[in-house]
Amino acid sequence: MNAIITATELADDLAGPNPPVLLDVRWQLSVAKAAGEPPFDGRAEYAAGHIPGAVFVDLDRELASAPGAHGRHPLPDLAEFGAAMRRAGVSPGRRVVVYDGGQGWAAARAWWLLRWTGHPDVRVLDGGLPAWEGALSQVEPTPEEGDFRPVAGAEGLLDAAAAAALARSGVLLDARAAERYRGDVEPIDRVGGHIPGAVSAPTNENVGADGRFLPAEQLRARFDALGAHNGAKVGVYCGSGVSGAHEVLALAVAEVPAALYVGSWSEWSSDPSRPVAVGPDPQ
């Protein structure tokens, strides 16, 4: 099953007899802003205009638990996540399409969580809201309660120890910007650098200038050059398990299964006893 959907395909599906559940997950990484600049408000963006029928999902509150020892975006409590998804109308027998403001990271986080917890048919709108050419709505729908019950997957999730082991025995991709991987800068977490043995693979190199994924064959060639090919054990991490989900999605487009270290660098770097590598090489 294709993990992404085009805007044209989505428009056709929404006009059909069995439209998908549509989730709007607009979100931006919280970083220091200029004085007087308000923080990003995904719900306000949603209220100002969304794809008709879409339900807003709050990444920080519904797709993650509170920041702490396990990182800035730890896994959500599954009971609370399930309740949020049911309120949005999610059921296992109905397709789900997720979109965000165009970056794709937040939508990919929702995609990954739903897939990891057992939903069989979830896709991300390629290019996000900017790819949508139809009308927007300011009407907030009241969907019928869904019956999705999330169950933690047996595979597809890494903790810190498993990520470190995979960096030695398989392929662990670091989806952050190359300068953060090298340790040149670190705008958010305690220290810069990367997990020893991890390979730099910035997720923004998986998309074109329009924010849409590169063709599957190009993605396969890219990941193959990094050692992440079908048959290898592959894992991904990022800053806090959001952009890493986007890289897992890109790998899925390339038909390469991969696991996600949700705690990512925000968890790894919080413990001074864990080793840190710097520079352009995995080490």
Asked whether residue 274 is assigned to any structural domain, the reply reads: no
User: Does the annotation mark 238 as catalytic?
Assistant: yes
Using one digit for the tens of pLDDT, what is the confidence trace for 160-191? Answer: 999 999 999 999 999 999 999 999 999 999 99
pLDDT at res. 32: 47
Query: CB atoms < 10 A from the CB of 30, how many?
Result: 11
Residue 170 CB coordination number (10 Å): 16
Q: State the total domains in the chain.
A: 2
Q: What share of the chain is helix, strand, coil (3-state, %, to 5)?
A: 30, 15, 55
Give the pLDDT of residue 142: 94
At 39 the pLDDT is 82
Residues 6 or more apart from 279 whose CB is under 8 A from it? 182, 183
Q: What integer pLDDT is reported at residue 231 of this predicted model?
A: 87
Q: How confident is the model at residue 282 (pLDDT cuts 50, 70, 90)?
A: very high
118 in the same domain as 23: yes
- Specify if 97 maps to a domain: yes
Residue 255: give the domain boundaries. Answer: 157-268
Contacts of 131 (CB under 8 A, 6+ apart): 6, 7, 102, 125, 210, 211, 212
- Give the mean pLDDT of the chain: 95
Q: What percent of the chain has pLDDT over 70?
A: 97
The single residue of 10, 22, 238, 249 carrying the catalytic annotation is 238
Range 7-14, long-range pairs (CB < 8 A, 24+ positions): 7/125, 7/126, 7/127, 7/131, 7/132, 7/133, 7/134, 10/51, 10/97, 10/125, 10/132, 11/133, 11/134, 13/95, 13/97, 14/51, 14/52, 14/53
Per-residue pLDDT, averaged over 115-120, amounts to 98
CATH number for the domain including 107?
A: 3.40.250.10
**Is 214 a residue whose pLDDT tops 50?**
yes
**Confidence category of residue 230, pLDDT binned at 50, 70, 90:** confident
Q: Which of 97, 115, 131 is the last residue of a domain?
A: 131
User: In this structure, are 115 and 15 located in the same domain?
Assistant: yes
Q: Residue 34 pLDDT more than 70?
A: no
Domain boundary among 92, 116, 131: 131
